[in-house]
Amino acid sequence: MSWGLTEASVSWRGGPWLDDVTLPLEAGEVAVVVGGDGAGKTTTLHLAAGLRLPDRGSARYPRRERIGAMLEVPGVYADLTVDENMRFTAGAYRLSRRQREGRGGELLERAGLADARTRLAAQLSGGMRQKLAVVLALLHRPDLLVLDEPTTGVDPVSRAELWRLIGHAAAEGAAVLVATTYLDEAERALQVLVLDEGRPLLQGTPDVLTDGGRRSLEQIVVDAQRARRAEVVNA
């Protein structure tokens, strides 16, 4: 089943905040939204997860029980332990104890958090907390996984572990949408949407965008931004 946005726009104070975004999210595939601060990544994710309705266009997403999300602030309870956070999330999704322990244990192992089960989330490093948030989002095997900058401020090892978790979720059949500020992460996706001031700047597979790897994505984005600025100035 495919989810995603079709010509979705959001207005703010009379002007477009997010303009005409079409982003199909297919089961088993990872899509990445890239952009600088204020580019509209979070708004795109909120539309995709049904947290916000588009002012124009349409959004298609599964019912809430089938969505897994890690939003801007990792939604883990600092005053609960890793295990207690997991118990809360499992309860919310009505998972049995066996499902929680089986699936949860496996995910914690993958995330490198198996030894931290009894630690308070407040005592975890920023990267560990991000990983815990992703583990919680994956606990109920969602059909749609939405992650808002899961790797921002995370060390390279944890970053690799997070991407392994994301890849695994897609392999299990989830449609995954990840927002990131890192262009190199875009190359891990099947589909890339680059946003600039709320408007799509580039969109396609990394292979097509980089001309089969002959050009760097970074250079392509910079060139596209320059071209758009020039268009605006000429207009």
Partner 1 sequence: MGTRTVWAMTGKEFRQLRRDRRTVALLVFQPLIMLVAFGYAVGFDVEEITTAVYGPQAEQVADALPPALVAETVDAAGGRATAEAALRSGDVTVAMVVDGQVQDVLIDGSQLFAARSAVGVLREARLPVEPEILYNPDLASPPVLVPGLAGLVMAFVGTIATSLGVVRERQSGTMEQLAVMPFRAVDVLAGKLVPYLLVGLVDLVLVVGAAIAVFDVPFNGSMPLFATGAVVFLVVTLGLGLFISTVSENQGQAMQLALMVTLPQVLLSGMIFPLDAMPDALTWVSYLLPLTWFVQIAVGVMLRAATWADLALPLVALGVQALVVFSLSIVRVRRDLLPSAGRRRKVRQPDAPVAVET
Residues at the interface with partner 1 (CB under 8 A): 1, 3, 49-67, 69-78, 89, 92-93, 146
The least CB distance from residue 110 to partner 1, in Å, is 21
Which CB atom, from 78 or from 230, has the smaller least distance to partner 1?
78
- Measured from the CB atom, is 55 or 223 closer to partner 1? 55
For the bound state, the minimum distance from the C-beta of residue 132 to partner 1, rounded and expressed in Å, comes to 12
Q: Taking the C-alpha atoms of 157, 163, 168 and 174 in order, what is their torsion angle to the nearest 10 degrees?
A: 160
Looking at the Cβ atoms of 94 and 98, the one nearer to partner 1 is 94
Beta-bridge partner residues of 69: 146
- Find the shortest distance in angstroms from Cβ 64 to partner 1: 5
User: Comparing C-alpha atoms, which of 61, 62, 28, 63 is closest to residue 44?
Assistant: 61
CB of 86 to partner 1, least distance (A): 13
Quote the CA–CA distance of 206 and 225 in Å, as a whole number.
Answer: 17
Nearer to partner 1, 142 or 206 (CB): 142
Q: Judge contact between 82 and 117, C-beta under 8 A.
A: yes
Q: Where are the alpha helices (DSSP H) in 139-216?
A: 156-171, 183-186, 206-209
